[in-house]
Amino acid sequence: MHPANLFSFCRLGLTFALLAMLSHGVQAGHVVAIDFSGGSLGPEWAPPPHSTHTNGVVRIAERGGRSHVLSMNLKGNSVGISTVNFSTLQVNVNGFEQVKLSFDHHADHDPVTPFSSGGFQGFPEATGVAVSSNGIDWVPLWSPDLGHEHGWVSIDNLDVSALIAANPQSLSSTGLLNIRFQHFMKVASGQLRSDGRGWDQISVSMTPIPEPSTGLLVALGVASAIGLRIRRR
C-alpha cells in the first residue's frame, strides 16, 4: 500500500476508535435513583401486598431526624403480632453489567434478625435486602449489622452483579430484576408494635454492555495504529 494511502487508512481507523470510545463513554454510568420526594411509591415498585399481615405498613413519611425529607418506612401496626413487611423495586438490567445497589437505612430501636445464607422462597423472618429474577426464588444480598438498632447508615455499592454470577441457577443478568427491601417485626405477646425501619436515597448504578460494533471499531483503530507504527519502522 502506498504510504499516503496507509496513513489515511490509519487515521480513519483511529477516528473510528475515538468515536466509538466517546460514544460508549456517553452511555456509561446509568443510574436508577429514588428519594421518595414524590410522597408515594412510583411505578418501578411492585404493587401490594407489602406485608404478611393485614396490619403491616409501608408508608412514605419523615423519619429519624430528617425533617421535611421523606423516606420509605416498613413497620408493623399491631400489638403482639409478628409480621414481615416488604417492598420490591423492579429494575430492567437487560443490556447492562456491573450492577450495584446503594441506599440509606434507618433503625429505631429494632433488634436485627439477619437473613440466613442461601436462597429461599416466601418471606423468612429476617430484615435486609434480597434479589430475585422471577419473583419466587430469592437470594439474600444484605442484612443490617447486628449492632445497628438506631439511626441512619449509608450502604454503598453492594455488588448485585457478583451475587448474580455466584447464583446462576437462581438469578439472571438479563431482564427484570426484583430487589426486595424487607423488615421483620418480631413481637412477643403483649408487647407494643415495632417502630420499624426506614429506607432512602436508593440508587442502582449500571454500566451498558458494549455493543459488538463498538468493539469492532475499537479493534480496527488499534490495528490501524499498529500497522502505521510497523510501516514507519
pTM of this structure: 0.80
Weakest-pLDDT range from 90-104, 151-165, 207-221: 207-221
The pLDDT tens digits of the residues spanning 150-191 come to: 899 999 999 999 999 999 999 999 999 999 999 998 776 555
Quick check: 60 and 39 in contact, CB under 8 A?
yes
Q: What is the residue-averaged pLDDT of the chain?
A: 82
Going by C-alpha positions, the residue among 124, 130, 132, 106 that lies closest to residue 198 is 106
Instruction: Round to whole Å and give the CA distance between 190 and 75.
Output: 17
Cis check for the bond before 47: say yes or no (omega within 30 of 0).
Answer: no
Beta strands (DSSP E) in 78-210 are 83-92, 96-108, 128-132, 138-142, 150-159, 176-185, 197-208
Q: Mean pLDDT over residues 53-60, rounded?
A: 88
Instruction: Round to whole Å and give the CA distance between 68 and 92.
Output: 31
Going by C-alpha positions, the residue among 133, 131, 138 that lies closest to residue 101 is 131
If residue 81 lies in a helix (H) or strand (E), which one and from where to where?
none
